[in-house]
Chains A and B, each alone.
Chain A
Amino acid sequence: MAQTLYDKIWDEHIVKSFDDGSSLVYIDRQMLHEVTSPQAFEGLELAHRKLWRRNSLLATVDHVVSTTDRSRPLEDSKAQEQFETLEKNVAKHNICYFSPQDKRQGIVHVIGPEQGFTLPGITLVCGDSHTATHGAFGALAFGIGTSEVEQVFATQTLILRKMKNMRIRVEGELKEGVGAKDLILSIISNIGIAGGTGHVIEFTGPVIERLSMEGRMTLSNMAIEAGARSGLIAPDETTFSFLKGKPYAPSGDGWDQAVAFWKTLKSDKNAVYDAEITINASVIEPQVTWGTNPEMCGGITDCIPDPAIISDEIRRSSIERALNYMGLKSGQKIEGLPVDQVFIGSCTNGRIEDLRQVAQIAKGRKKAANVKRVLIVPGSGLVNEMAEKEGLDKIFIEAGFEWRMAGCSMCLAMNDDKLQSGERCASTSNRNFEGRQGAGGRTHLVSPIMAVAAAIEGCFTDVRPYLKGEK
């Protein structure tokens, strides 16, 4: 029978099927960070259990790490305790670990691909919902809770039920100034934040095939914001050339053998999907979220919608609540809305391609006076190093931006990078939930080039005139 990419990876990883329809599924690799692992290690020890396979693990610190200061101990004693606990645990179990002093440290979803730890066809988990990112390589990757982190430690498996297959085919072409971030925001506003619940999404079509690995990762990263735990893209030459020579990727004959296998993974021509959606990329314009979840989103030239037209009472009141929180009114234009801070980084948009695009627009320009701070946070130490080699850091600093060290930073504000109550932020991150970037902070999700245009103009603005040389 014709199979999808997801069907193939699923079948390969079934250890045992149970009568009730669930399966024991083998997990090839797991990434660890300081926030969701301590209780899993504690559970393992309390039950006197052993790690099943240490070669399946890679650990780092990303969530609570400071992006300005790598000295220890941390000022925040609780963050320090998480740090110490992770370091004690990785030492005890002899787990591969990148400390903040190591240039390979960074956001788990940036460093996994960078190191070739992420590979096509594997199952990869992490106690972090944005694990969906790794699906860009054709890996079945999804976020899990701490109990499941512990299960994978002890058994290398999870009991799962197969999800449904959803295909999102993207046709047409992304216009100048419109990128992977705009595409995924537009998809989410189309299908809704629960539109992918119970499904694994596979992104296909000519637009996806033309995307770089960085763009594909941005897309897969936010599959979870559409409710899907995984967002897959079939591996192809773009994938292979990204991975070739990476430290943990196979090499020599092993590489050829792996590539030959990876080429068999793409969905069969006649594969059947439970749900199919077609998106025309040509009509998408640069996106800006206006509410408190990623589906509350529109184009830069749109106005904020009127909740009064929504008949469902709970939905209507959710939008009213969102507009109240965001300090916005229905009918208001998004363009021209002043911003207080700009955040460029995160596992969605903290890669070198993102920073290059930002630098292109920032070059020779300055941050607007009303913008209090523009944070540029690379996704990893290696991205940081590459950017500095290319002189991007100088462009940012000359523009009045702050050039930081790698970490999750103001995507979720678990370190000291956060918004003050009422501050409005143009952010390249993935969630605009209430308080996400700091209590009372107002987050608008945008692409990196839309964020830098807002930094220069001091308000949300259409980035396209900058690219056309009209500004």
Chain B
Amino acid sequence: MEKFKKLTAQAAYIPIANIDTDMIIEKKHLKTIKRSGLGKWLFAELRYDVDGKPVADFILNQKPKAQILLTGENFGCGSSREHAPWSIMDFGIRVIIAPSFADIFYNNSYKNGLLLIKLDKENISKLAQSADEILIDLNAQTVSNSINSYSFEIESNIKDILLGGIDVIEAILQYSHDIKTYEAAHFKRQPWINGEINA
């Protein structure tokens, strides 16, 4: 996974609350066995008209190089599809700033190196008013432009994973011995959990 440290980039603002995973990536694009290539279908219903032509006034058509997305509360609600963060990353967006995020989407995002930042909606709206590029410093936990600067909270383990581009499975496998010890005691307490599952 790519590391995330700092980013200075253009931001696009989609002022809609409760953007759900169906809106981020329609299910017809979930019929893939790959993680890549989904960026062209990101927000497809908002981005393209019925004939498949780009909608001129949709912000990501105006700012195709935007790497930061500013948006409304409860972003990513709905399905557990990881195709949502995959499509966002594949488009080129590396950071989403919103007042709140849905839980499953939040988890899926950092595991792909996508940084999610929670800021008050007033501050998001101030950032959106400026045409400036936005600077994100993960280590310092700050979001700033030439006028404003805000700090944000992030859980330390998630910060470490993003900063170090850490492979979570590799990290967990260091505890293989603990897992095996736990498992043996757990199955002793609840032997039915280890029943055979055969067709």
Contact = CB atoms under 8 A, between A and B. Distances in A.
Contact of A197 (B74, B179, B189): B74
Interface stretch (B132-140, B145-153, B191-199): B191-199
Contacts of A121: 190
Contact of B16 (A64, A129, A146, A321): A321
A76 B27 CA distance: 14
A54 B73 CA distance: 39
Nearest to B167: A47
B35 A39 contact: yes
Contacts of B179: 15, 24, 26, 52, 155-157
Contact of A117 (B20, B23, B104, B197): B197
Contact of A194 (B26, B74, B182, B193): B74
B82 interface: yes
A145 B74 contact: no
B126 interface: no
Contacts of A434: 20, 22-23, 45
B104 A129 contact: yes
Interface string A404-440: 0000000011100000000000000001011110010
Interface in A70-96: 76, 78-79, 81-82, 85, 96
Nearest to B31: A78
Interface in A36-71: 36, 38-39, 42, 47, 49, 52, 54-58, 63-64
Nearest to B20: A433
Interface in A133-179: 142-148, 150-151, 154-157, 159, 161
A315 interface: yes
A28 interface: yes
B100 A127 contact: no
Interface in A313-334: 314-315, 317-318, 321
Interface string B3-39: 0000000000001111010110011101111110000
Interface string A7-47: 00000110110101110101011000001101100100001
A225 to B, nearest CB: 8
Contacts of B112: 147
A304 interface: no
A193 B103 CA distance: 12
A423 B86 CA distance: 31
A173 to B, nearest CB: 31
A146 B82 contact: yes
B80 A97 contact: no
Which of A21, A257, A314 counts the most B-chain CB atoms under 10 A from its CB?
A: A314
A119 interface: yes
Given A129-B104, A318-B17, A435-B22, A36 B198 contact: no
B190 A148 contact: no
A305 interface: no
B72 to A, nearest CB: 5
Nearest to A90: B199
A147 B108 contact: yes
B30 to A, nearest CB: 5
Contacts of A129: 78-80, 104
Contact of B104 (A35, A47, A155, A229): A229
Contacts of B33: 38-39, 42, 81-82, 85
B22 A433 contact: yes
A351 to B, nearest CB: 21
B199 A318 contact: no
B183 A96 contact: no
A220 interface: no
Contact of A254 (B77, B107, B182, B191): B191
Interface of B: 15-18, 20, 22-23, 26-28, 30-35, 45, 72-74, 77-82, 85, 100, 102-104, 107-108, 111-112, 121, 155-157, 168-169, 172-173, 175-176, 178-179, 182-183, 186, 189-199
What 5 A-B pairs come out closest when comparing CB atoms? A145-B108, A145-B82, A250-B192, A78-B31, A143-B80
Given A24-B178, A146-B108, A439-B45, 16 more contacts: A12-B186, A16-B182, A24-B179, A26-B179, A35-B30, A55-B195, A122-B193, A128-B79, A145-B85, A146-B82, A156-B183, A193-B74, A250-B191, A257-B192, A314-B15, A414-B28
